[in-house]
Amino acid sequence: MSMTDPLGDMLTRIRNAQRAKKSDVVSPASRLRENVLEVLKREGYIAGYEKVNVRNGVDELRIQLKYYEGTSVITEIYRVSTPGRRVYSSVRDLPRVYNGLGISIVSTPKGVMSDNEARKANVGGEILCQVF
């Protein structure tokens, strides 16, 4: 059975694992998921991730979750643009999450980046998800 929203599935796995106080979580690998995880790592929301080869042609992403004094660093993580409703934004209209305390992850022509990086690069794009 095929998955309709692979990125939404990964975000849900991260959300559920943090509520269960897991140290890491596994998700199937794709280039988009890896790019989103790179942004989360760069912004300090996860400790890291690695791509693991399960068998020939099948890779997984092992994501190390980050906690601070027993509470998870990620308070909220949710999908904005879904397969049925894409949300695009120009650079002027990029949303600020909790007045700049959180981030929006944006897929731009220059790659997947946070909203702050998109403003510096002066590009807009599809708003994939928001993290706080």
Question: Using 50, 70 and 90 to split pLDDT, how confident is the model at 1?
Answer: low
Summarised one tens digit per residue, pLDDT across range 49-99 is: 999 999 999 999 999 999 999 999 999 999 999 999 999 999 999 999 999
What was the pLDDT predicted at 3? 85
Structure tokens at 45: 């929301």
Summarised one tens digit per residue, pLDDT across range 5-43 is: 999 999 999 999 999 999 999 999 999 999 999 999 999
pTM of the model: 0.95
